[in-house]
Structure 1
Amino acid sequence: MKPKNKKENTFSGTDESHNSRNATKRKRKSLSELDSSLQNTKLTWDMDPKRKSQIYEDCGINELEEDSRDAFPEPTPKILMAISSNPPGAPKATARYTESDDSNEAPHLHPWIKNPTPHRPLNEENENPLKKRRKVCEDRGRNELFVKLSDEIILNIFTWLPKCMLVKCARVCKRWKGLCFDESLWKRLDMASKVLKPGVLGRILNRGVRVLRLAKAEVNSPLFINKPVDFPDLGLTRVQYLDLSMTVVSEAGLEELLGRCKSLRKLSLEHCALNDKICGYISENKLLEVLNLSMCQGITKDGLKAIGRQCQRLEALNIAWIQPSKEVVDTVVTSLTRGLLKLNFSGCRELLSDENVLQLVTTCPHLRELDLSDSTFLSPAAVECVADNLRGLEYVAFSRCYQIPPNTFVCLNHLVTLLALDVFGMMKESSLENLRESMSQIEINKYHFSSIARPTTGIRRTSVWGLRVRDQVVA
């Protein structure tokens, strides 16, 4: 009985496994039918709630909770995947249509193009915008009378405009730009007390300025931005009268400026810092006539020697209060040009002696104006030396030369050409009146400040060395 029972148990286990395999086959068949039906029908995610748990168990998955569904993106349907993998091609060129077409329907276009703009051929009403703009400018030119004027008449009109207005007018058109930057409009310029940014002074000089006033101005380096390296002569300026009195500029800036100035006739560097290189550039101006170096620093005997040797046309020189050394004083009295007419060598204190005055009047016998003020070591011999050697003297100053007695100046009476004598700070009022009586034909103590080689004197600030620098004013 036991074996039989064992056999029966074996067959019973076999039937159970066979039944389970059949059930699995049926489920797979149902799933395959479901898959085939999904290919021809719209895919939905709803199913029978009774079979939902059984299908999930057969697939080995669990149902998501409501909160975790938003964390995963929706699956892409097969139709959208097919479209994204094979995007549509570029739209084909369509036939153009004109206004003569009877139908108002647009040609075949791509589905996503809406409200297409029809193509119209260019004609008189719909022409090229550039040609249309050019045509408008030509029409305006025919109607503007200013365009018909010649360049000479326009330049005559521009002469009455200030320089700041000329710069603005240069932005109108190419013709106006060429006329506004014409050299005839930039011959003279006053930039006193201005602050010039780097490169501004170079652009001004390149416009052909002849007379330039930069007194008390601030000039920032570099002065010239574009330097001609291969052809340095092309960068030379045309300025002839240059006033740099008390200008704030570095030694490198002065070297850059004076290195391009070879046609200077009159130059003022009052209260500027100099060196031998700058003095060498000054000496290269063969036509230099007037030079003002009063209160300058850094002047050496080599620099003064170069100026005196090469500037043979120099007529007026002001080297007052340059704090010279004994070597500089000896160089000045021996190396100046023989044709010098005006000299201001005041402020030497105890460095200038009677022997130096004798050498000076021998070297420059044609002096007409001489200022030796504030030379405390001069004696009456210096006054007699001047009276005996300078026959054409018109003005002389011995102010604050305390070792010269008042009655010594009477020897100057025999100078027929002498017009003025300055002896400030040397005598009392009573002695001064006696001197005036004895020298009745000579004006005494008329000029408080020397005007030798200075660009401006008195209250006149609109000109340098008698040349106008400011624009004309319309009354």
Structure 2
Amino acid sequence: MNANTNEDENQSSIVPDIIESPRKRMRTDNLTRKSWSLMDRRPDTEVFQEMGVSLLEPDDGDSCDTMPVNNHKSSLKRKRDIENVNPNVNGIITSPRGKFSPKSPRGKFSPSPGSSRIKSPRSSEKFKPLQPSDQILETSICDAYQIDEETPVAQSVSADYKGFGAATAGRTRASDSFTRHSIDEEPRVHPSQPVSHHINQLVCHDGQDQFSLLSDEVILDVMRWLPKLTLAHCMLVCKRLYRIACTESLWQRLDLGNKNLAKDSLGKILDRKPLIVRLASSEIGEWHPITAPVESRIQYLDLSMCSIDRQTLEQLLLRCSGLRKLSLENLALNEATQIIIGKCSNMETLNLTMAQGVTPDGLTAILEGCNSLQSLNVSWCNLSEPSLEALVEKLPPKLQRLNLSGARTLTDDMVVTLVGRCPRLLELDLSDCSRLGVTALTALLTLSRLEHLALSRCYLLPPHAFTKLSSMSSLQYLEVWGMLPTSSTNALRAALPAIQINQFMFR
């Protein structure tokens, strides 16, 4: 009878084992797949460190051939399972070997040892609910939570059994301690609960507004991580948050590109006192203030391709005299607007690509007022010959980057004047200036600091004239798109080995 009973128990212990671990079936189906085993005698230390599992120390004095039949053996079995998953729990429990030890005899249905043989508390709960006994709390759950709470497995165990520990509070000292931990700790975020639930727990904990106890400096640091729309919502909560949200450091950069701004919205933007404002490709509503202009803090303003009326543009630029970088690409300008731009004495970069309405007097006002200008782009502005003459005569000597592509009326004499006016040029784009000849190319040889030169589609320049550029030791890039066939381009590369040819199609 005893033999039959033992056989029945062994069979009953094997069948639930197969049912409880679906990963075992995957292992038997994919025997050729390489897996890392916690029971390997010579494990890879680095692999286990990456997995977050420390090495298991073998213990020859333990063997488990049969399943437990009473509650005491069940608790010991649970202690072994927890330690097999988390070997760091060693304050009370020693280091026994798991059921499927390398030195233990394997059963009929036990394949080669591997990580799938280790059963966690979570896997056993799927088919066998936890019994609310004081003994289990004292030996396996509570003490492991108190000893090594920082480990991932202990955290998961504590998170799953907090409610159970609270329900059984007062029975034993261990359960009381476990309940105290679950109440005193901060609430853990659970994926199944919305974020607003946890925020409400933080704000309304114990009937007190925890957020109101924070200092203004702490709230300000929190607001630095919020998007601008959320900041605007925070300003509607109370007077204190409104005052903190109006801090200038929170509004230093405003990116409102591709937006539709309502009427008088620009005034509200300036009230935030930003440093960087981007309104590219936006539709800006009218803004015609009747008050005296108040100087703003804007230093970088991008109005490229936006839709704005001229009066609104003038009112905006009147309040931005401290601009350092300005982009007015594809905007219609009048002479009054250009005179206002000339009052920005700190201007370093000005982009007027495809701007309409540029006049000789307007260019003169800009170039005379912006003495610190280092980068200027007036490409494809359809400049007249008088405008080009005023340009090359008034260019600031500190200019380093100049783009004059598309200036169809630019002549060789203008290039000679330009080179004498700006000897510090680093980049020069004269693409599509169809009237330039060898005289202009020869004048460019005197630019000792020039690094990038674009002469694409200047069809009056003969191919052999480009070989003269070999005397320019600082030149690194040369663009001659649309002028030479492939064979001639390769020959030019061989003649100018120190210069990279046709590296940038668009500048």
Query: Given the two structures, how large is their TM-score scaled by the length of structure 1?
Result: 0.62
Q: Matched residue of 1:434: which SS?
A: helix
Structure 2 counterpart of 1:176: 241
1:348 to 375, 393, 407: 407
**Counterpart in 1 of 2:422?**
364
d(CA) in 2 for partners of 1:428 and 1:140?
76
2:415 aligned partner, one-letter code: V
Give the drift of 1:142.
Answer: 8.8
Inter-partner Cα distance in structure 2 for 1:142 and 1:159: 28
Matched with 1:189 is 254
Matches within 5 A, 1:190-339: 190-222=255-287, 225=289, 227-229=290-292, 232=293, 235-339=294-398
Corresponding residue SS for 1:263: coil
Which of 486, 489, 506 aligns to 1:429? It is 486
Instruction: Tell me, in whole angstroms, the C-alpha distance in 2 between the residues paired with 1:214 and 1:284.
Output: 22
Q: Does structure 1 residue 406 correspond to structure 2 residue 463?
A: yes
Corresponding residue to 1:165 among 205, 230, 235: 230
Give 1:393's aligned residue: 450
Structure 1 position 409, deviation (Å): 1.2
Code of the residue aligned with 1:400 in structure 2: it is R
Question: 1:343 touches 1:371 (CA, 8 Å); kept in 2?
Answer: yes
- For residues 139-162 of structure 1, what are the alpha-carbon distances to aligned partners after superposition, in whole Å with 9 as ceiling and x for unaligned? 999922211211111111011111
What CA distance in whole angstroms lies between the structure 2 residues aligned with 1:398 and 1:405?
Answer: 12
Instruction: Give 3-state SS (helix, strand or coil) of 1:348's partner.
Output: coil
Per-residue CA distance 1:327-371 (angstroms, 9 max, x = gap): 00111110111111110011111x111101000001111111000
Deviations 1:119-151 (A, max 9, x none): xxxxxxxxxxxxxxxxxxxx9999222112111
**Alignment partners' CA distance in 2, 1:343 and 1:152:** 46
Secondary structure of 2:398 counterpart: coil
CA offset digits 1:80-131 (Å, max 9, x no partner): xxxxxxxxxxxxxxxxxxxxxxxxxxxxxxxxxxxxxxxxxxxxxxxxxxxx
Distance 1:318 1:147, change over 3 A: same
For residues 291-331 of structure 1, the C-alpha deviation after alignment (integer angstroms, 9 at most, x for no partner) is 00010000000010011111110000000011111100111
Residue aligning to 2:438: 380
Secondary structure, aligned partner of 1:267: strand
Q: Distance in 2 between matches of 1:152 and 1:417?
A: 52
Q: Which amino acid aligns with 1:325?
A: S
Unaligned runs of 5+ in 1: 1-138, 451-475
Q: Aligned Cα RMSD in Å?
A: 1.6
Separation of aligned partners in 1, 2:281 and 2:505: 22
Q: Measure, in 2, the Cα distance between the counterparts of 1:326 and 1:381.
A: 19
**Larger RCO (CA within 8 A; separation ≥ 6):** 1
Deviation string, structure 1 residues 239-283 (Cα, Å, up to 9, x no partner): 100111101111112111111111100000000000111111111
Please tell me the residue identity of whatever aligns with 1:408: A
Instruction: For residues 51-97 of structure 1, give each alpha carbon's deviation from its aligned partner in whole angstroms, at most 9, with x where no partner exists.
Output: xxxxxxxxxxxxxxxxxxxxxxxxxxxxxxxxxxxxxxxxxxxxxxx
State the alpha-carbon separation in 1 of the partners of residues 269 and 311 from structure 2.
19
Give the secondary structure class of the aligned counterpart of 1:360.
helix
Pick one of 431, 445, 448 that aligns with 2:502.
Answer: 445
Q: Is the partner of 1:317 in helix, strand or coil?
A: strand
SS at match of 2:417: helix
Which secondary structure state, in structure 2, belongs to the residue aligned with residue 277 of structure 1?
helix
SS at match of 1:370: strand
Q: What residue ranges of structure 2 are gaps of 5+ in the alignment?
A: 1-203
How is 1:20-31 mapped onto 2 (pairs within 5 angstroms)? none
CA contact (8 A) 1:141 1:147 kept: no
Deviation string for 1:11-36 (max 9, x for gaps)? xxxxxxxxxxxxxxxxxxxxxxxxxx
AA in 2 matched with 1:392: R
Return the alpha-carbon distance in structure 2 between the equivalents of residues 270 and 183 of structure 1.
Answer: 28
Distance 1:385 1:444, change over 3 A: same
Kindly, what percent of the aligned residue pairs are identical? 42
Match for residue 416 of structure 1? 473
> In 2 relative to 1, CA 142–315 (structure 1 residues): closer, same or farther, beyond 3 Å?
farther
Question: Does the residue aligned with 1:421 lie in a helix, a strand or coil?
Answer: strand
Q: CA deviation at 1:202?
A: 1.5
- Is the contact made by 1:329 and 1:352 (CA closer than 8 Å) also made in structure 2? yes
Structure 2: how far apart are the matches of 1:419 and 1:372? Answer: 16
**Alpha carbons of structure 1 residues 175 and 141: separation in structure 2 relative to 1, 3 Å:** farther
Q: How many Å separate the matches in 1 of 2:246 and 2:225?
A: 14
Q: How many residues align?
A: 304
Letter in 1 for 2:291: P
Which protein is bigger by CA-based radius of gyration?
Answer: 1
Amino acid at match of 1:204: I
SS in structure 2 of the partner of residue 402 of structure 1: coil
Conserved 8 A contact 1:338-1:363: yes
